[in-house]
Amino acid sequence: FNVFLYSVVQYKLQQPVIARFLRLIPLDWNPNGRIGLRLETYGCPFTSDVMSLDGVSSSLVFKLSPGTRQTSRDVMSLQFKTLRNSGTLLHIEGEGGLGLSLELERGKLLLLTPSSEPRRLASIGSLLDDQHWHHLAFERRSSHLNLTVDKHTERVQIPAEFSHWDIKQKQIASKRNFHGCLENLQFNGLNLIELVKHKYHQVTVMVS
């Protein structure tokens, strides 16, 4: 409550808040034209699991258990931030040597097929090396991918050989390692960072 009309009162919240809508309710007027306001906010608790990667020797590897049922749809989502404009954020391996990589290149995110002759399937985003959090979502369906960075989504037609692709392993920050932070890394409903904290056998942090 601000008692003094011409002073500024600042309140710092214990936790940061990301708001989409704010509701300002006028409560009262006085003869001098001043207005009293009440600020209402509504929201839900937010859980944050964060890990940092040094870009030199560390990466996170998630291996599917033997006998895991193959699905026609896989979903991965995360938040990331970095000051480096280049590095491999995600590498996915499957049967028959098939693979896909998401790589930062000059602040843009590229979707590549890593091979002796890499093919670029998509380029999305810009200025992703600005040390701000960016949202990434990767949805694989049998014949295409939906790739989302922040609020922009691209539908990517994948090569025919990937139509019945069976994913075996995901590696976060591999090869030209990603240097930065990851938050709430989810794969098919699994919180991979939380699994690392609990030393779950399917997820390991590789240090070389």
Q: Would the pLDDT of 169 be above 70?
A: no
Greater confidence, 174 or 9? 9
Decide if 61 contacts 195 (C-beta within 8 A): no
Q: Does residue 67 carry a pLDDT above 60? A: no
- CA torsion sign for 170, 174, 175, 180 is positive
Q: What percent of the chain has pLDDT over 90?
A: 25
Residue the block writes with tokens 């890990």: 51
Tokens representing residue 93 in the block: 């391996």
Indicate if the pLDDT at residue 175 is higher than 70.
no
Greatest alpha-carbon span in the chain: 79
Whether pLDDT at 208 is above 50: no
Checking if the pLDDT of 21 tops 50, the result is: yes
**pLDDT grade, residue 99 (50/70/90)?**
confident
Tokens linked to 130: 């600005």
Give the up-direction half-sphere exposure of residue 3: CA atoms within 13 A in the CB hemisphere.
0
pLDDT category at 170 given cuts 50, 70, 90 is low
Q: What is the pLDDT of residue 63?
A: 77
Number of Cβ atoms within 10 Å of the Cβ of 134: 17
Q: Is pLDDT at 48 greater than 70 in this prediction? A: yes
pLDDT of 9 strictly over 80: no
Does domain 50-207 bear CATH number 2.60.120.200?
Answer: yes
- 202 pLDDT band, cuts 50/70/90, is confident
124 — pLDDT class (breaks 50, 70, 90) = very high
For 44, the 3-state DSSP assignment is coil
